[in-house]
Amino acid sequence: QVQLVESGGGLVQPGGSLRLSCAASGSFLSINTMGWYRQAPGKQREMVADITSSGGTNYVDSVKGRFTISRDNAKNTVYLQMNSLKPEDTAVYYCNAPKVRTTLYRFSEVWGQGTLVTVSS
């Protein structure tokens, strides 16, 4: 079984910063893309940012210039540095690995349990 465990959420004032971490553990051969999604109350889950094992990144337009995704392949960990946070960033943030190679010919998609980020004064 592969698990993604997030940490780093919490309450922050508008304009503040938070850093989320997501560590993969369990039995797997490799992970290519890792990413972060978020779901605000009453809204659909949306992709925030993702990063490939070679460092290629994508961001949703609303976070460009404020959020930075990075990863440590040796630790199978992905990070999301969030700066200049706004109330509209409030959501549960989920870590995602859409294609984890669990055996030579088998892949699985894995989600973390989510971590709550609240931006409020």
What local confidence, expressed as pLDDT, does residue 98 receive?
Answer: 96
DSSP strands (E only) in 27-76: 30-31, 34-39, 46-51, 57-59, 67-72
List the chain residues with pLDDT less than 50.
none
Residue 86 · residue 119 · CB < 8 Å: yes
- HSE-up of residue 85 (Cα within 13 Å, Cβ side): 23
Q: DSSP secondary-structure letter at 62?
A: G
Neighbouring residues of 5: CB distance < 8 A, sequence distance ≥ 6: 22, 23, 25, 112, 113
